[in-house]
Amino acid sequence: MKFTERLKTGKKVYSFEFYPPKTAEDTSKLFNTALELMRLAPDFVSVTNSSSGVAPYRTVALCGVLKAQFGLDVVAHLTCLAHTKAEIAEICGGLRKMDITNILALRGDPHNVVSGARRQDYSYAAQLVADLKREGGFAIGGACYPEKHPEASSLDADIARLKEKVDAGAEYLITQLFFDNAYYFRFLEKAAAAGINVPVLPGLMPLTGYKQMQNFTSLMKVGIPDELRRGIERWDGDKEGMFKFSVDYASAQAEQLLKGGAPGLHLYTLNRSRAAIAILRNVKGEVPE
């Protein structure tokens, strides 16, 4: 089913994000995670890729396995910096053969492009969205940043660029992770004022430790509220204490978002199931053991 059709029902949607494993051991762990998360009956799972020229093909293959063997509806991430228009068309053909009709269209991180692999056909995600729209048959989503993209000069400038993506055909948006809901609701107001009226699914992930928190703040420019920072500092080194605190914080975040009108939740899993199960159990209450 196209993800946009699920959004139109008005029911809250719940989804998980995976990334393609690199080793046989990681593949086994991911498939075990997929089996566990199947019990939660997610509306879809998404599969990431990097900006390299190889990873999108791994993404397509993993999407096919998750759909065929696990019966999961899949959203394939597709970046454009390392691909020509012809290669994008080829990837779309592969997705069609597997009856995968959902794509999250991304520019990709220039820093992750293998040296010499950068192509010149695309510069922005809006250009990829437009090509996918012309391909036809896909429900197309895009990424957005409640605190602004790290490269943007301001949130208003970032939203202006996002408007181009929506005008090109993006039918829904999934946010970068954030830890302060005020950013999400402020973003919705500014986006609506700019004429962006597609559903915006919030992306959440519990922090696992102090080092991870530092990475998010330094690399992704994600703000950390004082309450969260104090909790991470308090429980750092205590694995179970950290897990409970982080899940409780993410669960409270999720509940507030849903009550505030968010269309659902997109959980970044890091290919693990325990936190996602715990959060949905806290939020929904009827998640099976």
Each residue's pLDDT tens digit, 239-253? 999 999 999 999 999
- CATH code, 3-282: 3.20.20.220
Query: Taking CA 4 as the corner, what is the angle to CA 221 and CA 265, rounded to the nearest 5 degrees?
Result: 45
- Our answer to whether residue 171 is catalytic in this structure is no
- pLDDT at residue number 276: 92
d(CA 148, CA 271): 26
Amino acid (1-letter code) at residue 241: G
Stated pTM of the model: 0.93
The secondary structure of 146-203 as a DSSP string is TT--TT-SSHHHHHHHHHHHHHHT--EEEEPP-S-HHHHHHHHHHHHHTT--S-EEPE
| Domain segments of the chain as ranges | 3-282
Q: Which two tokens stand for residue 53?
A: 């020229």
Helix, strand or coil for residue 39?
coil
Q: What is the DSSP letter of 271?
A: T
pLDDT tens figures, 173-183:
999 999 999 99
User: Given 17, 90, 164, 240, which residue is catalytic?
Assistant: 17
Amino acid (1-letter code) at residue 200: V
Q: What percent of the chain has pLDDT over 90?
A: 70
pLDDT tens figures, 121-168:
888 999 999 999 999 999 999 999 999 998 999 999 999 999 999 999
Of the ranges 33-42, 111-120, 189-198, the best mean pLDDT one: 189-198
- pLDDT at residue number 114: 54
Task: With a cut of 60, say whether residue 115 has pLDDT above it.
Answer: no
